[in-house]
Amino acid sequence: MPLSLKVPRRTVPQLLLALVLIAVPVAGFAAVEVLTASRSAPADLGDMQAFLTIVSDVQTLVKSGDLAAAKQRITDFESAWDSAETSLRAKNPVQWTAIDDAADAALRAVRSAKPDSARASSTLDALIAALNSANA
C-alpha cells in the first residue's frame, strides 16, 4: 500500500510564500555582495619613491660604467624591498609580484658574473616602470 502524505490545501500557499519571503532577500543580498566584490579594485602599494630613488641611483651607476658600485647599491634596494615584502604583498599581491619579478631580473643583470651594461640598464628601466605603475 503506497504511502500518501496529505497536506492541507491552506499550508501549501503559506509554505510557498515563506519560501519566497526568504529566498528573494537572500538572493538580493548575494547579488549585491558579488557585484561589490567584483568592482572593488585592489589597493595600491603606496609610495614607491624610496625604492625609485635607489633604483635610479643604480641606473646612474650602470650608465657611468661603475658596475661594482651598482652591485652594492642594488643590495640596498633588495634589503628595503625584502623588509617591506609582508606589508606590500598584503596590499596587492599581483602588483607586488610584477615588481618583484622585475626586481629579480634587475638583480640578476647587475650582479651577473659578466655584467652587460645595456642589459642591466634595460632591466632597471623595466623595474622603474613597474615601480611607477604602482604609484599611478
Determine the pLDDT at residue 4: 65
Distances (CA, A) of 83 to 22, 54, 70: 50, 15, 20
* 65-69 long-range contacts, CB within 8 A, separation 24+: 65/117, 67/110, 67/115, 67/117, 67/120
pLDDT tens, position by position, 98-132: 999 999 999 999 999 998 999 999 999 999 999 99
- Please state the separation of Cα 115 from the chain's center in Å: 30
**Greater confidence, 49 or 3?**
49
Q: What is the mean pLDDT of residues 6-14?
A: 67
Determine the pLDDT at residue 38: 47
CA distance 87 to 99: 14
What are the sequence ranges of the domains in the chain? 10-40, 49-135
pLDDT tens, position by position, 46-60: 899 999 999 999 999
DSSP string, 40-97: PPPPP----HHHHHHHHHHHHHHHTT-HHHHHHHHHHHHHHHHHHHHHHHHH-HHHHH
Residue 32 has pLDDT above 70, yes or no: no
Q: pLDDT tier at 18 (50, 70, 90 boundaries)?
A: low
